[in-house]
Amino acid sequence: MNKLFSASLFFCLNCLFFPAVAQDADASEEIATEPQITFERFSLAELQQFARIFEQIRQNYVEEYSDAELLDMAIEGMLSRLDPHSELLDQEERELVEESSDGTFYGVGLELTMREGELIVVTPIDDSPAKSAGMQAGDIILEVDGQSLWGLSLSEALEIMDGEAGSSMSILVIRDDQLKPFEVSLTREKITMESVVARTVTEDIGYVRVRQFQRNSGAEFKEKLQSLIDDHPYINGLILDLRNNPGGVLQAAIEISDAFISEGLIVSTKGRSANSNLEFFASPNTVAPALPLVVLINQGSASASEIVAGALQDHQRAIIMGDISFGKGSVQNVVPIDDLRAIKLTTARYYTPSGRSIQAQGIFPDISVLDGEITYQNTGLSISEADLFHHLENEDGDAPQLLGFRETLSDIEDLQLAQALVFLKGLAIYQK
C-alpha cells in the first residue's frame, strides 16, 4: 500500500523513531528488546472467547479468509482502536516510511487523518499533485472514484487511494467555504521534496521555509541559514515558515531549534517505559542566537513543526505568528515483528520546554493572523506633494528605501507572510 497519503506514515502527525533509522517527531527509537509474552495475564475464559469468535468467523463468514488473514485483521483492529497513528506495516509500507524520511515518496502528496469517520486533509505537501490542484488543510474527502469512504478506517481509505505511479483518481471533496462538494482529479507520481528553501524577502529580511523534517534537514538548514547571513550582511530579521509542514524526523527538529537556542531543554518525551522518557537539550553551537525571528505556523503544521515552534516560544526566542497548529503531540516507535512486518506504536507524548503537552491542542500563536490573500488598492488617481507643479524638491533626493519596501509588499499576496515582514520591519525601527 502506498502510505504517502497517511498522516501517520509521512510523520504528518509525525515524529517517528526508527531502529537504526532516523527518529521522527512522530516516531521513536525502535524497541530493541522483545517483550516477554505472558499468557498468564489472560484468563482461560477470555482466551476461549477469542478462539470461539475466531472459529465462528473462519467457518461461517459469508466470504472465506485464511487463518493468517484473520489474525492480521485482529491485529489491525486492535491497533486501530488505540489511536490514529498506531498501525500494522507490511514490508512495503515499512520501506515507504523509511524512504519518506529522505524526501522521496510516491502518491499525490496528501497528509491525511481519520476523525469521526471522515477522511480529513492535514496538509497538502509542497510540490505535489495535491498542492498543485489546490487541496487545502481541513478538506474532507468523501469519495474516491465514486466509492464512498464514510465509516472506513484510515488504512482502508488509504488502500482505496493507493495506485501505481502515473495513474489518476478523482476525489469528491467538501470544504467549509463551499456550498457543494466538488471533484478534484489527481495523478499519482514520484515526489522528491527539497526540505529547506532559503532566500531574502527584502534586503534586510531573510526567509527560510522548512517543508518537511527529513533525515538531513538539520544540517541543511544550518548550512543554508549561515550562507544566507554571510551573503546578506544587512539582514536584521528572519522569517521561519513552518506552515503546512506535517513533521518528520525528530533529530532534524532538535537541530533546527538548536540553530536559534544556545542552552536549555528543547523537547522531552514521556511514556510508560523507561526508554520512552527522554530529554533533548540545545548545544552552544548556535547559528543565529540573537537574530530577530518570526515563526509562521498554521493548521497544517504538525509534530516536528510544533516541537520547533513550541521550543522557540517557550524560550522567548521567536514570535509565533499565524493560526493554531494541528496538535500532534505523540511519539511512535517502529517495532519489527518479523522479517516482513512491523508495527508503528504510539509510546509517548512529547512536551515543550515549559512542560506543555500539545496533544490535541496545538501551539497557539503569539499573534493570530488567519490565512488570506492581500489585494492592493491602486486606482492610479493618488496624488502627493511630489505630483504638484513647481513643488519643492527634497534636498536629499528620492527615498529609494521606502519605494523598495512598497514594491516588495505589492509583490506579496500572502497575508501571513506580509504581516511577519511588517512586524520585523517595525521591530528593526524600534530597536534603532
Give 96's Cβ-side CA count (13 Å radius). 23
pLDDT for 71 beyond 70:
yes
Assess whether pLDDT exceeds 80 at residue 45: yes
Fold of 196-333+350-368: 2-enoyl-CoA Hydratase; Chain A, domain 1 (3.90.226)
State residue 168's pLDDT score: 96
Residue 193: predicted pLDDT: 81
Look at residue 177 in the predicted model and tell me its pLDDT.
85
Catalytic residues: 303, 314, 328
Query: What is the rounded CA–CA span in Å between residue 27 and residue 269?
Result: 11
- Band (pLDDT 50/70/90 cuts) for residue 21 is very low
Predicted confidence band at 98 (pLDDT cuts at 50, 70, 90)? confident
> How high is the pLDDT of residue 23?
45
Answer yes or no: is pLDDT of 5 > 50: no
Q: What percent of the chain has pLDDT over 70?
A: 85
Domain boundaries, the chain: 3-191, 196-333+350-368, 385-431
- State pLDDT tens for residues 242-265: 998 989 889 999 999 999 999 999
Architecture of domain 3-191: Roll (2.30)
> Any residues with CB less than 8 A from the CB of 158 and at least 6 apart, and which?
1, 2, 3, 5, 6, 112
**For all residues of the chain together, what is the average pLDDT?**
86
Say yes or no to pLDDT of 78 above 50: yes
Q: Average pLDDT, stretch 417-427?
A: 93
If you average pLDDT over residues 383-387, what whole number do you get? 73
Model's pTM, two decimal places?
0.81
- Render pLDDT for 136-193 as a digit per residue (tens, 0 to 9): 988 999 999 999 998 888 878 988 998 888 999 999 999 988 889 999 999 999 888 8
Residues 6+ apart with CB under 8 A from 429: none
Which pLDDT tens digit goes with each residue over 296-314? 999 989 999 999 999 999 9
CA nearest neighbour of 330 among 345, 309, 320 = 345
Q: On the CB side of 375, how many CA atoms lie within 13 Å of its CA?
A: 2
Residue 239's nearest CA partner among 284, 288, 302, 281 is 288
Q: 254, 221 in Cβ contact below 8 A?
A: no
pLDDT value of position 35: 61
